[in-house]
Amino acid sequence: MAAKSRKKRTTEIFALGNEAVVEGALLAGCTFYAGYPITPSTEIAEEMSARLPRLRGGVFIQMEDEIAGLGAVIGASLAGRKAMTATSGPGFSLMQEHIGYACITEVPLVLVNVMRTGPSTGMPTSPAQGDVQQARWGTHGDHPIIVLSAGDVQECLHMTVTAFNFAEKYRTPVILLLDEVTAHTREKITLPDPDDTYVFSRLTPSMPPEWYLPYEDNMRGVSPMPPLGSGYRYHVTGLIHDDHGYPTSNPREVEQLMQRLFRKIDQFFYDIQMVDEIMCEDAEICVIAYGCVARAAELAVQQARERGEKAGLLKLKTLFPFPRPAVEKMIRKCPTLIVPEMNMGQMSREIKRVNNGQSKIHTLNRVDGQIITPGQILSRILKG
């Protein structure tokens, strides 16, 4: 007998990329936002300030700067909330120290960086993709991190939900990179039925408090995380710590912590790696792109197909950990790859690194604050 069909509660709305981020965050169970206004990310803060106080326990707080914004988010996450902040280039630079803190203390949070042209104040607010390597390596010291990207408004929503899920699952900060174009594009999107949306919330400990180890080196590499004030009193510190959270400089314990931090991301690589292969089955020339450029590339690939070129698009949704297996597959398949991006080659250097001289890699860089057009990518494809 067929299951009783339930009426789907989907809604269609006309939204900005930034607004879709808010929809995604609320869908994922976010109840805390702290941040500092900076264009082109401000709509996220504005929307949150109107929506969160209407939720039970929902908190929006505008802090004195971006450093304070991320600090408050970490505090709220320690207190058990799903928390996020959003910013853009200069603010992202200010947040770097606290990203490192969240990595070492394993605090789940989502940070949306709407990329604008830099460096420094740069060109407010023209689009760019110049913060890709900063998102990976911006904070000091070795650390694992998850960096995601979104290329259209619907994807902004889905990737925000995914970002929260990854953050909660792996107890790590997750950075969602948008660009000004995606954030400020308004288009029709579908709000999914909350019952059909996969939402993961962090595991909390169930053992007696005296057995609990906040930084245990277990199989998953991730310990359950109790909210502050729930009976599990433990120490949180940015110092290298042992499994109790107490500071240590014992080489064995230091090594164990660092290895586990990397392992907890590495061993779930295939859960985290997200790419879209578009017209890639028989492709001979492959475009690898992410963010709004991937959208232009999709049209360019279609047009190239119409002209008889066997072109394909590998769209990267996870930027870090770098989706090496997916890229290597295209390298083996296609003698020519094109990497268009709105920077001087931040992702193409990763692709060249894994390519190791096997295929020809052409970069297509644009750094004048304008988007890369489908026409530009098409003519590069046709050049071969």
Partner 1 sequence: MAKVTQLIHNYLRHSKRFPHVFCPGCGHGIVLGSLIRSVHSLGLAKDDVVLVAGIGCSGRIPVYVDFNSVHTTHGRALTFATGIKMANPRLTVIVIMGDGDALSIGGNHLIHAARRNIGLAALVLNNHIYGMTGGQSSCTTPLGSYSTTTPFGQLEEEFDISRVAKVCGSSFVARTTVMQARHMDKMISTAITHPGFGMVEIISPCHTQFGRKNRFKTSVDMYRWLQKKSVSLDKFQELPPEKRKDAVVTGIFEQKDCIGLEEKHARMRRELRGET
Q: Provide, rounded to whole angstroms, the least separation between the CB of residue 267 and partner 1.
A: 28
Give the integer Cα–Cα distance in Å for 360 and 326: 17
Q: Provide, rounded to whole angstroms, the least separation between the CB of residue 105 and partner 1.
A: 8
Residue nearer to partner 1 on the CB measure, 46 or 277:
46
Q: How far is CA 241 from the centre of its chain?
A: 27
Contact 321, 315 (CB under 8 A): no
C-alpha torsion sign, points 104, 202, 137, 176: negative
Residue nearer to partner 1 on the CB measure, 34 or 114:
34
Residue nearer to partner 1 on the CB measure, 139 or 348:
139
Residue nearer to partner 1 on the CB measure, 201 or 303:
201
Give the integer Cα–Cα distance in Å for 139 and 237: 16
Residue nearer to partner 1 on the CB measure, 94 or 280:
94
DSSP calls for 314-325: EEESEEES--HH
Q: Provide, rounded to whole angstroms, the least separation between the CB of residue 321 and partner 1.
A: 25
Q: Provide, rounded to whole angstroms, the least separation between the CB of residue 353 and partner 1.
A: 32
Q: Provide, rounded to whole angstroms, the least separation between the CB of residue 58 and partner 1.
A: 7
Closest among 151, 93, 116, 95 to 40, alpha carbons compared: 116
- Give the helix/strand (H/E) hosting 277: strand 275-278
Closest among 373, 184, 383, 382 to 297, alpha carbons compared: 373
Residue nearer to partner 1 on the CB measure, 51 or 295:
51
What does the binding site for partner 1 look like in residue numbers (CB under 8 A)? 32, 34, 53-54, 56-59, 61, 63-65, 67-81, 83, 97-98, 101, 227-231, 233-239, 244, 246-247
Q: Provide, rounded to whole angstroms, the least separation between the CB of residue 310 and partner 1.
A: 52
Three-class secondary structure of residue 356 per DSSP: coil
Three-class secondary structure of residue 35 per DSSP: strand
Give the integer Cα–Cα distance in Å for 37 and 61: 11
